Every structure is written in C-alpha cells, then in structure tokens.
Amino acid sequence: MKVIIIGASLSGLFTAYLLAKEGVEVEVYDKTDILGWPPRTLIVTRELENVLDFFPEESIINEVWYIELFSRSKSARLELSSPDLVIERERLVKSLARLAEDAGTEVKLLHQFEGFAKFGKKVAVHFRNLETNEEVQTSTDVLVGADGGLSAVSGGDSRNGHRLTALLQAKVFLHEQRDSSTCQVWFDSNHTKYFYWLIPESEQTAIVGLIADDACQTGVCLTRFLQNRHLEPLEFQSAMVPMHRFGFAGEVLSNDRNIFVVGDAAAQVKVTTVGGVVTGLHGAKALAHAILNGRNYTKALWELKIELNLHLLIRQVLNRFSQVDYDELLGLIKGEFKDILEKWNRDELTQSFLRLIWTEPRLIKLGAKALLKSFLQ
Ligand SMILES: Cc1cc2nc3c(=O)[nH]c(=O)nc-3n(C[C@H](O)[C@H](O)[C@H](O)COP(=O)(O)OP(=O)(O)OC[C@H]3O[C@@H](n4cnc5c(N)ncnc54)[C@H](O)[C@@H]3O)c2cc1C
C-alpha cells in the first residue's frame, strides 16, 4: 500500500512515521523549502509525551510549573502537578521528520499540492515543483491532507465549514529578570473573547500573544498590550487557526475511505486555548491506526471528538463572559476546585470535566447566567 501525505509538519510527519515503521510505503510533500518554517514557540501539556510515546527532549526549551491567571480585579495561581512544555516547533518537526525518514518515508520539499482525481480505487495527485515550476503527477492508494487550516485537500477556502481565528504572538526581551517557570494569562473580554498570554522561553525572553476573531484586532490589541508593559517585540509569529465545531464528520473525503484529513486540516484543535499540537498528534495516531487496521477513521477519533466537544462547550460559555464573570470565575479557584485544575491538564478534560462541576456547582450557575444574558441582549 502506498500513502501520500500533503504537509510535512507535526500531524503529517507523525502519521508518516507511524505508517512507515509498519512497512507502509509513504511519501510526504510540502511546499516549503525548510522543515518547520516559520519559527513558532508553542506551549503544550505533558500529554505530548503520551501521544508520541517518547519524550522529545531536543525540542523543549523550557518547562512551566505555575500558571497565573488575571481578570480585571482577581487573580489565581496554579501549581501544576506536571509541567507544561515550551517547545520550538521547528525542532519538533525536524525530529519527527528524522524518525519518519529513518523508518523509510520519502520527504519531498518545494512541492505544492494542486489537486487530486479519483480513478478506480486509486487517487491521482497533482503537484507543482516550485524549484522547476514543472507539473508533477503521481498516484497513490491513500491520500492524506495534513496541510493545515487552509487545507487544499479538504477544499481550500471552504475549510470544510470551519471558522478560522487569528493567533498573533511576539517574542519579547524581558528587561527585568523573571521566573522562567511561570506562565501568565490575562482575561480581558473588552479586547478579546479569548485571552492574552506570556510564556517564558527563558529568564531573558518570552512569547506574548493573543487570540481574537480577526487579524487586525489581534495586531492593534497586541501592540497596545506590549506598549503598556514596555515590552519591545523582537519578532512576530502569526497564522489563522481553524476552530473545531460540533458534529463535524468531514475528515473522510471519499466513499472509498482512501482520502483523509488530519490535524489543523481537520480542525482537530482545542477551542478553549486554540491549541492544536497534541490533538493533531492524537488525530494522526487515530488515522494511522485506521489505515493500518482497515478501521473506520471517524470511529477511531471518537475519544478525541469527546475531548474537542467538551472544549467547544466551555468555549461557547466563555465567549459570553464579561469582565465581572471572569472576576467571579477566578474567585472560585481555591480548595478542591483548584486542586483539580492543578492535577488534570487541559488535554484531560474528559477526565476532569464532571469532577470540576461536581466540586464547584457554582460553575453551572455562572455559565447559565452568561448564556442567559447573551440571549437576552
Ligand atoms: C502563532 C501560533 C501559536 C500557536 N501556539 C500553539 C500552542 O502554544 N500550543 C498548541 O497546541 N498549538 C498552538 N498553535 C496551533 C498549532 O501550531 C497548530 O494546531 C499545529 O501546528 C497544526 O499542525 P499541523 O501539522 O496540523 O498543520 P501545520 O503545522 O499548519 O502544517 C501544514 C503543512 O502543510 C503544508 N502545506 C499547506 N498547503 C500545502 C500545499 N498546497 N502543498 C504542499 N504543502 C502544503 C505547509 O507548508 C505546512 O508545512 C499555534 C498556532 C499559531 C499560528
């Protein structure tokens, strides 16, 4: 069996590695000329190690043990039971590429996917070689789109109906030396339904960013935020990230079950934090398992879908939160509720969701109030 994967980034290369090590013939194509480009600092939970089945030591630039949360007039500090990992995407992409290539995958850069056509059980795939500008055509048994939020495999701009949200972050130099094990998050619903963050890379540099619904808004808000804190940007990192939605079943693109999408291309993103690394790797694992065992990919994704849907449920409520609601929420973070937030990470919502509500029933009242207010407005 031959598998062609479009996109040599995290979800594409991990799928390639899992398939190639079981003897599948795999080719991965990417339009860029440098793996992992452009640079991006990411924060992920320790679930990264579980999903990869190894600890990606060389990609990790820092560990975060504390998260400080701020609303207009309240704050809370969480001490995590296992640290979040700050990673450099390029390093993780390169190490996954090495693993995939060692297992027999062929990685071809400067090849832009331009379309596919089905003939019988096979798929003809068209590329443009960006070095020579020549058209290239090849065929495969299985085509996988791991080509990000604007996936051409899943239909380009239609993105399978997913909404995109803008993520912008700046690398900043820290004038005062600060504790590199503490990440900070600010909720300010006047500027964004999401939040601002500061993720330390070291004692000298950090990543400061925000998520908002449109790219212009992120630019204006981030510039103001940095100016207010006398932080000078060294470089910016940005892109549009797709948002998971309820009832999505578009990860299988053909009745013959031989054209799939994974990672951001399938919007496998936690919409509370707009984090897609761990969830995209879980998607890759489910896809590789389905291809290798002739199983249904959609069914193999059910655990991930539950997790993503719980994040979406919480996001629907948070989208309606005012500054007063965030003050109230942060005021609740103590005792057993705080313990649960510290013990279970944000990739374990399936395990912690009911515990959180059971321990702090005022969450339901807070959520219901925010929903009701938004319906009455
Ligand atoms: C600034 C920023 C910060 C983020 N921070 C975090 C974070 O802290 N934690 C977290 O979990 N997530 C974070 N995310 C989200 C996370 O980066 C993505 O969810 C994840 O990288 C998606 O990986 P992927 O492999 O699915 O897709 P991508 O990394 O988008 O890879 C898609 C690949 O496909 C290639 N490609 C696209 N079109 C074509 C084509 N036509 N032909 C050939 N190749 C093509 C691209 O060149 C690219 O290499 C962040 C996103 C941004 C933008």
pLDDT at 215: 78
DSSP-assigned beta bridge partners for residue 26: 3
CA of 240 to the centre of ligand 1 (A): 9
- Cβ–ligand 1 distance for 276 under 6 Å, the answer yes
Size of the chain in residues: 377
**CATH code 3.30.9.10 region(s) in the chain:** 61-87+163-242
Q: Is 269 a pocket residue for ligand 1 (Cβ < 6 Å)?
A: yes
Q: Whose CA is nearest to atom 19 of ligand 1?
A: 276
Please give the pLDDT value at position 157: 45
112 lines ligand 1 (CB under 6 A): yes
Whether 31 is in the pocket of ligand 1, judged by its Cβ within 6 Å, is yes
* Minimum-distance ligand 1 atom for the alpha carbon of 199: 8
Smallest CA separation from ligand 1 atom 16, residue: 276
The residue among 17, 23, 239 whose CA lies nearest residue 144 is: 17
Evaluate whether 272 touches 222 at the Cβ level (below 8 Å): no
Ligand 1 site, residue 11, Cβ cutoff 6 A: yes
Residue 117 CB neighbours (<10 A)? 11
Cβ of 43 below 6 Å from ligand 1: yes
pLDDT, position 377? 64
C-beta of 12 in contact with ligand 1 (< 6 A): yes
Verify whether ligand 1 is closer than 6 Å to residue 185 (CB atom): no
**Span from the CA of 137 to the centroid of ligand 1 (angstroms):** 25
Evaluate whether 166 touches 240 at the Cβ level (below 8 Å).
yes
**Which atom of ligand 1 is nearest to 149's Cα?**
30
| CA 226 – CA 228 distance, rounded (Å) | 5
Please count the helices (runs of H) and the strands (runs of E) in the chain.
11, 16
289: tokens are 């398992």
Q: Is 247 exposed, middle or buried (0-12, 13-18, 19+ CB in 10 A)?
A: exposed
| Encoded tokens for 18 | 């899992």
How much distance in Å is there from the Cα of 364 to the middle of ligand 1?
34
| Nearest ligand 1 atom, CA 262 | 26
CA of 366 to the centre of ligand 1 (A): 34
Q: Is 7 in the pocket of ligand 1 (CB under 6 A)?
A: yes
H-state helical runs in the chain: 10-20, 47-52, 89-102, 215-228, 277-293, 297-300, 302-318, 323-331, 335-343, 349-359, 362-376
For residue 89, report the distance from its CA to the centre of ligand 1, in Å: 9
What is the CATH code of the structural domain delimited by 2-40+89-161+243-310?
3.50.50.60
Alpha-carbon distance 182 to 252, whole Å? 40
What spacing in Å lies between the alpha carbon of 204 and ligand 1's midpoint?
26
Closest CA to 41 of 213, 234, 229: 234
DSSP codes of every residue in 34-64: STTPSP-EEEE-THHHHHHTS--GGGEEEEE
| Nearest CA, atom 22, ligand 1 | 264
pLDDT in tens for each of the 377 residues of the chain? 999 999 999 999 999 999 999 999 999 999 999 999 988 999 999 999 999 999 999 999 999 999 999 999 999 999 999 999 999 999 999 999 999 999 999 999 999 999 999 988 899 999 999 999 999 999 999 999 999 999 999 875 445 667 889 999 999 999 877 889 999 999 999 889 999 999 999 999 999 999 988 778 899 999 999 999 999 999 999 888 999 988 877 788 877 789 999 999 999 999 999 999 999 999 999 999 999 999 999 999 999 999 999 999 999 999 999 999 999 999 999 999 999 999 999 999 999 999 999 999 999 999 998 888 777 76
Q: With 0-12 CB in 10 A as exposed, 13-18 as middle and 19+ as buried, what is 125?
A: buried
Torsion region of 243: left, alpha or beta (phi above 0 gives left; psi -120 to 50 gives alpha): beta
- How far CA 85 is from CA of 40, 108, 201, in Å, comes to 14, 30, 10
Contact present, 28 and 105 (Cβ < 8 Å): yes
Instruction: Name the residue with the closest Cα to ligand 1, atom 53.
Output: 239
Output the CATH code of domain 61-87+163-242: 3.30.9.10
Ligand 1 centroid to 241 CA: how many Å?
Answer: 8
Q: Does ligand 1 have an atom closer than 6 angstroms to the CB of 275?
A: yes
CATH 3.50.50.60 domain extents, the chain = 2-40+89-161+243-310
Are the C-beta atoms of residues 278 and 47 closer than 8 Å to each other? Answer: yes
Radius of gyration of the chain (CA): 21
CB 109 less than 6 A from any atom of ligand 1 = no
